[in-house]
Structure 1
Amino acid sequence: MWQMVLDLIKWQLITDTGVDAMVYFAIGGFATTLFVLRLLLMLFVGDDGGDIDLTSADIADATDGMETGAAFNLFSLLSLLAFAMGFGWMGLAGRITWELNPTISLFIALAFGSIMMFGSAFAMMYIRRFEGTNVYDVKTGIGRTGRVYLTVPANASGQGQVEVTVSGRRKIFTAMTKGAELSAFSNVRITEVGDDEVMWIESTETQPSTTTTEAQDAPPA
Structure 2
Amino acid sequence: MDKMVETTETLQIIKVFWFMAISGTIAYLIKLVIGFIGGEFSIDDIELDNEDFQYFSFQTLFMLVMSIGWMGIFTIEYLTWDLLRGISISVAFGIFVACIEVYIFYKLRSLHEIHVGNTQNAIGKIGKVYLTIPENGTGEVQVSFEGSLKNMKAISENGENIKSFTDVKVIGVKDNTLIVSKVQ
- Cα distance in 2 for partners of 1:127, 1:117 equals 15
Tell me, yes or no, if structure 1 residue 93 matches structure 2 residue 74: yes
- Equivalent residue of 1:113, what SS? helix
Indicate the residue corresponding to 1:37 in structure 2.
30
Alpha-carbon distance in 1 for matches of 2:30, 2:106: 21
Deviations 1:42-85 (A, max 9, x none): 11125499449xxxx944xxxxxxxxx5xx41x22121111111
Which structure has the greater CA radius of gyration? 2
Instruction: Number of aligned residue pairs: give it.
Output: 117
1:112 aligns with 2:93: yes
One-letter amino acid of the counterpart of residue 36, structure 2: L
Which runs of 5 or more structure 1 residues have no equivalent in the other structure?
1-14, 60-68, 145-165, 168-194, 198-221
Residue of structure 2 in register with 1:20 after alignment: 13
Say whether 1:121 aligns with 2:125.
no
Deviation at 1:91, TM superposition (A): 0.7
Distance in 2 between residues matched to 1:20 and 1:135, nearest whole Å? 48
Q: CA deviation digits over 1:64-117, x for unaligned, max 9? A: xxxxx5xx41x2212111111111110111110001111111101111001011
Gaps in structure 2 of 5+ consecutive residues: 1-7, 120-133, 139-151, 154-172, 176-184
Residues 17 and 96, structure 1, Cα contact 8 Å, conserved in 2 = no
CA RMSD of aligned residues (A): 3.7
Using the aligned pairs only, state the percent identity: 20
Structure 1 moving runs of 4+ over 3 Å: 46-52, 133-137
Distance 2:57 2:9 in 1: 35
1:18 is paired with a residue whose SS is helix
Counterpart contact for 2:27–2:62, Cα < 8 Å: yes
Which TM-score applies when normalising by structure 2? Answer: 0.52
User: Which residue of the partner structure matches residue 206 of structure 1?
Assistant: none
Question: Which of residues 58, 65, 68 in structure 2 aligns to 1:77?
Answer: 58
Q: Distance in 2 between matches of 1:21 and 1:31?
A: 15
TM-score by length of 1: 0.44
